[in-house]
Amino acid sequence: MRSTNDDAGDSRSDMTTRARIRDAAIAVFAESGFTAGVRAVAAAAGVSPGLVNHHFGSKDGLRAECDKYVLDVIGRRKAEAITTPGPARAMQDLAEIDEYAPLFVYIVRSFQAGGGLGGALFEQMVHDAEQYLEMGVAAGQVRPSRDPAARARYLTLNNVGAMLLYMQMRIDKESPLDYRQALRDLSSDLALPALELYSEGMFSDSSMLDAYLSTKDVAAQPETAEAGQPDTTAEEQS
């Protein structure tokens, strides 16, 4: 009769195999797009196609698992970056660009492929962005918004759109494209203007915002995270 320890060991091995297949799938889809089949993933993971289907049921099931993992990892990294900012955090993020490149390229491929899975991935990214932005608000690192959901959607559209356009322009010039180098270049090109814009703002006063708010049923000031009361500091108005 099999012991509990034997069963636990088999379970751990099973999960390790599942994770290895998932990681191989992310790398294969990032490199070749979603036209790559189960056989290519199986070869990269060093397993049989039947074992891939045993764990995930189908290619769509495998992709759904990859989507979830990619979003979980990126969400955690975003939450860490937004709640514990500083030079050390920034340097760590730059150093890890190569490590996380397949995940970002996987996202690019998802949107290039389109379809329902791409749309679902985007909506989940918006939801996750709203969650980690609210964590930043609670930590005092991010200003509250009059419409947190709309802000999350805007930032996600900006970030995804910029990455998609940048990668497409690079693909048009380079074949094959070195995605890791492209992501390093993207980070280098956008880090300063993005941080400057998000940290210091762009307009010298709030006249354009005030004019817009006068035509909409929107609060003049966002609620603070602590008291749920309007924040009327001069800094918030600028």
pLDDT tens per residue, range 105-161: 898 888 888 877 788 889 988 998 999 899 889 989 899 999 999 999 999 999 999
102 is a domain residue: yes
Per-residue model confidence (pLDDT) at position 204: 94
- Give the range of the structural domain holding residue 82, as residue numbers without chain letter: 69-202
Per-residue model confidence (pLDDT) at position 227: 44
Per-residue model confidence (pLDDT) at position 230: 42
pLDDT tops 70 at residue 29: yes
16 is a domain residue: no
Task: Choose the weakest-confidence range: 3-7, 84-88, 165-169.
Answer: 3-7
Amino acid at 235: E
The total domain count for the chain is 1
Give the highest mean pLDDT range of 14-18, 31-35, 45-49: 45-49
CATH number for position 90:
1.10.357.10
pLDDT tops 80 at residue 13: no
Contacts of 25 (CB under 8 A, 6+ apart): 41, 44, 45, 62, 63, 65, 66
31 is a domain residue: no
197 is a domain residue: yes
Cis bond upstream, residue 176 (ω within 30): yes
**Would you say 160 and 122 are in contact if contact means Cβ atoms under 8 Å apart?**
yes
- Give the DSSP letter of residue 223: B
pLDDT tops 50 at residue 205: yes
**Would you say 52 and 42 are in contact if contact means Cβ atoms under 8 Å apart?**
yes
145 is a domain residue: yes
Per-residue model confidence (pLDDT) at position 77: 81
pLDDT, the chain, mean: 82
Distances from the Cα of 96 to the Cα of 24, 89, 187, 225, angstroms: 19, 11, 12, 31
What's the number of CA atoms in the CB half-sphere (13 Å) around residue 101?
A: 19
- Give the DSSP letter of residue 230: B
pLDDT tops 50 at residue 169: yes
117 is a domain residue: yes
210 is a domain residue: no
Per-residue pLDDT, averaged over 185-209, amounts to 92
**Looking at the DSSP assignment, which residues form a beta bridge with residue 223?**
230
169 is a domain residue: yes
